[in-house]
Amino acid sequence: MKFNSVLENVTTYEAGKPIELVVREYGVNSEDVIKLASNENPYGTSPMVTQKIQELAKNMFIYPDDSMYELKEALANKFDVNDKNIVIGSGSDQILEFCVHSKCNNDSKILMSKTTFAMYEIYGKQTGATILKTPDDEHNLEQFSTMYKEHGADVIFLCLPNNPLGECLDKEDVYNFLSEVHEDTLVVVDGAYQEYATFKDEKKAIDAKDLITKFPNCIYLGTFSKAYALGGMRVGYGIAQEDIIKTLYKLRAPFNITTLSLAAAIEALKDEKFVQDSIAKNFEEMKRYEDYAKVKGFDYIDSYTNFITIKFEDLYSSKAVAQELLQRGVIVRDLTGYGVNAIRITIGSNEQNTKVFKVLDEVLEKLK
Ligand SMILES: *Cc1c(COP(=O)(O)O)cnc(C)c1O
């Protein structure tokens, strides 16, 4: 059968491996599997959210409030914007998709960093757009600037902080770059891990309202999947000027998140203490990974997120390390597919991390 020819260039996104797969293929007990491959919050969901979902389970037969009034109000309050500046998506992934489809066709150009969130390229290629990547692995604004001047772009992606590497640009540098960008270029600031970056270093903090006020061609994306611990509920949001939001709405299917997801997100916003505690513990535990890497002589990227990327240079193959860990019930992300000999490990709970170090010791000894 003939399909839309642009899809010939599109690769399928490979998600972090699920616990079920490790149980099936390697016979590890499901309680013993440690999944640190998708940057989920290891402290589970706020008990307030769990309770709310239990109360509302009986409402499953009702379509959600398609205006998403209550969630938009809560977000509008949090970010000090108008509800007309907000769009809700099935994960911020869906809003990334809206952004690309709102701007691009097969004449378009999309500019991004070489090693960044894989979905930018996938959504881009779905439209037939040309993907331009800056040469360095980590975000480099001089390179962005040079390539933008040379080629222009319809959409620019900035992942702040960046997944899968963990680095984060300073706000001041980002603003300097944005001031060079034409008002007709849509700049997507993906803030999936902004809560972590803001906690660690004020210089990285991007305020959504300030961003879209100073640069009306920008959209800020946030998600409930990471710090807010709702990966399974699929809720994300975009904050932008009204003309952008109105256009994205044209791409939205009705009821694009569920009744329970809406309720979960609203409730999660009421428990900021849970979020801040999770973030504080994240960075305490991250130190243990940094120390571990130092002791073993591995380089790591200074991370502003809930994961750490450890590089193996020519010491080990990251693919082999990830595979050996998997067979022992520890799921991490191998970055070979991104052209980097490194693994990305989500920072787990204290107990999980202790076990990871033990298993990692074993694996490194075996592969020596
Ligand atoms: C996790 C993630 C997202 C979005 O995740 P959703 O679950 O779809 O909200 C977006 N961007 C980056 C960089 C991410 O890591």
Terminal-residue alpha carbon distance, the chain: 49
DSSP-based three-state secondary structure for 348: coil
Share of the chain above pLDDT 70, in %: 100
Contact (Cβ atoms closer than 8 angstroms) between residue 333 and residue 162: no
Task: Name the amino acid, one letter, at 339.
Answer: G
CATH number at residue 306: 3.90.1150.10
Q: Are residues 40 and 52 in the same domain?
A: no
Q: How far is the CA of 223 from the centre of ligand 1 (A)?
A: 7
225 CA closest ligand 1 atom index: 7
**pLDDT per position as a tens digit, 271-315:** 999 999 999 999 999 999 999 999 999 999 999 999 999 999 999
Q: How far apart are CA 296 and CA 286, in angstroms?
A: 16
Q: Does residue 38 share a domain with residue 52?
A: no
Task: Among 226, 307, 309, name the best residue to mutate to test ligand 1's pocket (greatest count of ligand atoms within 8 A of Cβ).
Answer: 226
Same domain, 216 and 132: yes
Q: What predicted TM-score, i.e. pTM, was given to this entire model?
A: 0.96
Q: How many domains does the chain have?
A: 2
The answer to whether residues 318 and 336 touch, using CB atoms and an 8 Å cutoff, is yes
Q: Which two tokens stand for residue 21?
A: 């797969």
191 C-alpha to ligand 1 centroid (Å): 9
Distance CA 149, CA 142 (A): 11
- Dihedral sign (CA 78, 80, 84, 86): negative
Burial class, 161, CB count within 10 angstroms (exposed 0-12 / middle 13-18 / buried 19+): buried
pLDDT per residue over 75-134, tens digit each?
999 999 999 999 999 999 999 999 999 999 999 999 999 999 999 999 999 999 999 999
215: which 2 tokens? Answer: 């640069």
Question: Residue 140, exposed/middle/buried by CB under 10 A (0-12, 13-18, 19+)?
Answer: middle
Residues with CB under 6 A from ligand 1: 39, 91-93, 117, 159, 163, 190, 192, 223, 225-226, 231, 236
**pLDDT tens for each residue of 323-342:** 999 999 999 999 999 999 99
d(CA 300, CA 308) in angstroms, rounded, equals: 7
> 31: helix, coil or strand?
helix
Q: What is the distance in A from the centroid of ligand 1 to the CA of 92?
A: 6
Are 158 and 17 within one domain? no
Q: Are residues 65 and 212 in the same domain?
A: yes
Residues 106 and 223 in one domain: yes
Which one of 238, 270, 302 terminates a domain? 270
For residue 236, the one-letter residue type is G
Q: Which domain, by its residues, includes 343?
A: 5-44+273-366
CATH of the domain at 219: 3.40.640.10
Domain match, 248 and 195 both: yes
- 312 and 164 share a domain? no
Dihedrals φ, ψ of 280, to 5°?
Answer: -60, -45
**pLDDT value at 16 more than 80:** no
Nearest C-alpha to atom 11 of ligand 1 is from which residue? 192
Domain end marker among 218, 236, 270: 270
Same domain, 292 and 192: no
Percentage of the chain lying above the pLDDT 90 cut: 95
Strand pairing category for 155-159 and 330-331: unpaired
Ligand 1 centroid to 76 CA: how many Å? 20
Regarding whether 301 and 192 lie in a shared domain, the answer is: no
Residues 326, 190, single domain; the answer is no
Q: Is the dihedral of CA 234, 240, 245, 248 positive or negative?
A: negative
SS3 of residue 237 by DSSP? strand
Reported for 32-36, long-range contacts at CB under 8 A and 24+ positions apart, including other chains, are 32/329, 33/329, 33/330, 33/331, 34/329, 34/330, 34/331, 34/348, 34/352, 34/355, 34/356, 35/331, 35/346, 36/307, 36/330, 36/331, 36/332, 36/345, 36/346, 36/347, 36/348, 36/352, 36/356
Tokens of 186: 């849509």
Ligand 1 center–CA 192 separation, angstroms = 6
pLDDT in tens, 44-55: 999 999 999 999
pLDDT of residue 15: 81
Q: Please check whether residues 121 and 166 belong to one and the same domain.
A: yes
Question: Using N-to-C axis directions, what is the helix angle for 259-268 and 47-56, rounded to 10°?
Answer: 150
Among the three residues 242, 270, 298, which one is the final residue of a domain in this structure? 270
Q: In the predicted model, what is the mean pLDDT of residues 237-249?
A: 98
